[in-house]
Amino acid sequence: AEKKLLQGKKVLVTAGGTVERIDPVRYLTNDSSGKMGYAIAAQAKRMGADVVLVSGKTTERVPDGVEFVTVESALDMYEAVLSRFEQTDIVIKAAAVADYRPAEQAPQKLKKNNDELTITFVKNPDILQTLGQKKHGQFLVGFAAETERVEEYAMGKLRKKNCDLVVANDVSADGAGFGTDTNIVRIYDAQGLALQLPIMSKTDVATRILTLVASRLGSNKGA
C-alpha cells in the first residue's frame, strides 16, 4: 500500500491558464494545458490530502475526489484562492496566470469600424506574491516557466514571492513545459538547487514534488 505522506493536509492547487475577456466573445489566454497542476492534484489526493483544485482553462479530466473550483480570469482566481488560504496547509501554484488584463471589457461585441484597434492592459495582482506576504505557516510552492536563465529567474521569484519552493522548467526544451505529458524540472529552495529531476511523466514529477514538500513541512518559515 502507498504511504499516505499527506494524510490530513489541506492542499490547494491552481492549474490551467486564465482567460482575460476583451468583449463577450473574445479573450486572451496562454498555452497552459493544465496537465502539471492536474497531475499534482490527483497525486496529492492519492497521498491522503484534502485537495481543492482551482482551475482555469484546460481540457483535462477532473481528478476523482478533489473539490473542483473553475475560474475564468486572474481576478477570479485571486478571489477563489485568497478566500480559501486561511484553511490551507500547502498551496501549489501551477496555473499560468495572465500578467495583464484589458482595462475595460466591452459590454457588446466590438465592431470592425476602424483600421486599427488599441487595447489598453492593466496589471493583474500577483496571487502567489500576495500569499507570500500573508502566509503564517502555510507552505508555498511556485512554478517558473522560463526560456533562459532558469536558475536566476527561479531564485528571483522564490525571494520576491516568499515561497518555500520554486519548480522551474525550461519550456523551450523538448519534453518539457506546456502541453507535453512529460516534464524536466529543477526545484529550488532558499539555499539554491534542492532537486534536479531527469525527464519523467508529469505524474511522476508531481509525486516527487509532493514527497519533497511532505519532507519539509513544519520546517518552513512563516512570514
Question: Can you tell me the distance from the alpha carbon of 26 to that of 160, in angstroms, rounded to the nearest whole number?
Answer: 33
**What is the grid cell recorded at 127?**
496571487
- Site size with ligand C5P, rule: CB under 6 A: 12
Q: Does 127 bind ligand C5P (CB under 6 A)?
A: yes
Which of 15, 44, 90, 144 binds ligand C5P (CB under 6 A)? It is: 144
**What is the grid cell recorded at 179?**
502541453
The mark string for 87-126 relative to ligand C5P (x by CB under 6 A, - otherwise) is ------x-x-x--------------------------x-x
Q: 69, 53 in Cβ contact below 8 A?
A: yes
CB burial of residue 179 (10 Å; 0-12, 13-18, 19+): exposed
Specify the residue, 124 or 203, whose C-beta has the smaller distance to ligand C5P: 124
Q: Does 135 bind ligand C5P (CB under 6 A)?
A: no
Q: 197, 185 in Cβ contact below 8 A?
A: yes
Candidates 88, 221, 109, 107; CA nearest to 165 is 221
Q: Does 142 bind ligand C5P (CB under 6 A)?
A: yes
The active-site residue, picked from 30, 124, 162, 169, is 30
Give yes or no: 220 in active site. Answer: no
Binding site for ligand C5P (CB under 6 A): 74, 93, 95, 97, 124, 126-128, 142-144, 157
